């Protein structure tokens, strides 16, 4: 219900205004418990949420809604599905997926990776306090370095900063992840590298603002083609409903095989026209050459 000022003008919601429990219920997914959200600090003791927490919850649940068919599929197909949340932050997403899938089915494992030790430790204690500990592992470290099972079934990276999204792609490819879902965050890598890239197309990124925008766009195009070239069927869409986030692009992929030649060719042609060296490609090449997957895996 819209409240009004005494003047009669509609009252603007304050940034941290509390939303009542009834309003919050409409945001929750079936199987999502208020107790876990309270433990995470997203929901207050009264069962309400401030506007920031409510927005975050909406984002997470919208993301889950988009990847539900893929999650259903892996829980149908595998007895012990392995989920990997890269750049997990406070692990809101990882805890939600844990409740909705792993706890509900009583099988599977969630690995949540976070660089910051304070966050990763907090997540591990919370997982233990909530009784999730035997099927939930908080990994502290860089996505590219943390020990993971040899096989992952679903890789997620929600707002992983800059090349952290690429780290998630590398781990997903190495672990033959059946599905991948990425919502890229800030992307600075190519805006620097494009400066040195001269040619008939360079007016596209001549101005610094265009360079940032084009750099981010080109990065995501190259990520998409790289996934396709490595056998993923890819979909790029908008996370509708994320009205307060500019980082609103969802890239999902389903693994169909080891490679796809037409996409490999498109990628090659594109890189001939706009030649940049991407951290993702350099890293994939270096790790494939080193070809010592044992160094980066643990047995599940």
Ligand X SMILES: C[S@@+](CC[C@H](N)C(=O)[O-])C[C@H]1O[C@@H](n2cnc3c(N)ncnc32)[C@H](O)[C@@H]1O
Which C-beta is closer to ligand X: that of 90 or that of 211? 90
Question: Distance between CA 277 and CA 174 in Å, rounded?
Answer: 20
- Closest residue to ligand X using C-beta atoms: 89
Which C-beta is closer to ligand X: that of 101 or that of 205? 101
In whole angstroms, the minimum distance from the beta carbon of 162 to ligand X comes to 7
Q: Does 169 bind ligand X (CB under 6 A)?
A: no
Question: Distance between CA 146 and CA 84 in Å, rounded?
Answer: 11
In whole angstroms, the minimum distance from the beta carbon of 163 to ligand X comes to 7
In 3D, which of 151, 71, 148 has the Cα closest to residue 111? 148
Question: Distance between CA 124 and CA 112 in Å, rounded?
Answer: 9
Q: Does 55 bind ligand X (CB under 6 A)?
A: no
Which residues neighbour 67 within 8 Å (Cβ) at sequence distance 6 or greater?
154, 156, 179, 181, 252
Single out the residue of 58, 62, 135, 142 in contact with ligand X (rule: CB under 6 A): 142
In 3D, which of 182, 176, 1, 185 has the Cα closest to residue 86? 182
Please give the residues from 101 up to 130 whose contact with ligand X meets the rule CB under 6 A: 113-116, 119
In whole angstroms, the minimum distance from the beta carbon of 24 to ligand X comes to 18
- String of DSSP letters for 252-280: EEEE-SS--HHHHHHHHHHHHHS----HH
Q: Does 89 bind ligand X (CB under 6 A)?
A: yes
Single out the residue of 53, 70, 83, 88 in contact with ligand X (rule: CB under 6 A): 88
Q: Does 148 bind ligand X (CB under 6 A)?
A: no
For the chain, the helix, strand and coil percentages under 3-state DSSP, each to the nearest 5: 50, 15, 35
Q: Does 184 bind ligand X (CB under 6 A)?
A: no
Structure tokens at 1: 């219900």
In whole angstroms, the minimum distance from the beta carbon of 168 to ligand X comes to 9
Single out the residue of 109, 153, 159, 296 in contact with ligand X (rule: CB under 6 A): 159
Q: Does 161 bind ligand X (CB under 6 A)?
A: yes
Which C-beta is closer to ligand X: that of 187 or that of 228? 187
Q: Does 164 bind ligand X (CB under 6 A)?
A: yes
Coil, helix or strand for 154?
A: strand
In 3D, which of 221, 216, 170, 174 has the Cα closest to residue 192? 216
Which residue ranges make up the site for ligand X (CB under 6 A)?
A: 87-89, 92-93, 113-116, 119, 142-143, 158-161, 164, 167, 185
């Amino acid at each position: 219900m819209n409240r009004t000022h005494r003047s009669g003008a509609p009252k603007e919601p304050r940034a941290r205004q509390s939303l009542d429990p009834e309003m919050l219920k409409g945001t929750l997914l079936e199987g999502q418990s208020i107790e876990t959200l309270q433990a995470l600090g997203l929901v207050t003791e009264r069962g309400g949420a401030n506007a920031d927490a409510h927005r975050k919850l909406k984002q997470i649940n919208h993301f889950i809604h988009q990847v539900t068919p893929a999650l259903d599929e892996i829980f149908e197909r595998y007895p012990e599905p392995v989920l990997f949340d890269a750049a997990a932050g406070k692990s809101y997403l990882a805890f939600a997926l844990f409740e909705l899938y792993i706890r509900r089915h009583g099988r599977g494992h969630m690995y949540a990776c976070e660089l910051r030790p304070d966050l990763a430790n907090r997540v591990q204690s919370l997982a233990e306090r909530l009784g999730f500990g035997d099927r939930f592992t908080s990994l502290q470290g860089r996505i590219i370095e943390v020990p993971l099972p040899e096989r992952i079934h679903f890789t997620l990276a929600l707002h992983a900063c800059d090349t952290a999204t690429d780290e998630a792609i590398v781990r997903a490819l190495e672990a033959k992840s059946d599905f991948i879902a990425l919502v890229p965050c800030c992307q600075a890598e190519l805006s620097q590298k494009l400066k040195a890239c001269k040619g008939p197309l360079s007016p596209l990124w001549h101005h610094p603002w265009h360079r940032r925008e084009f750099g981010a766009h080109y990065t995501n195009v190259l990520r998409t083609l790289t996934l396709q070239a490595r056998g993923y069927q890819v979909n790029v869409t908008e996370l509708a409903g994320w009205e307060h986030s500019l980082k609103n692009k969802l890239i999902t992929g389903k693994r169909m095989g080891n490679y796809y030649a037409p996409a490999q060719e498109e990628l090659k042609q594109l890189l001939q026209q706009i030649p940049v060296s991407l951290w993702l490609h350099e890293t994939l090449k270096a790790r494939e050459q080193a070809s010592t997957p044992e160094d980066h895996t643990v047995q599940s």
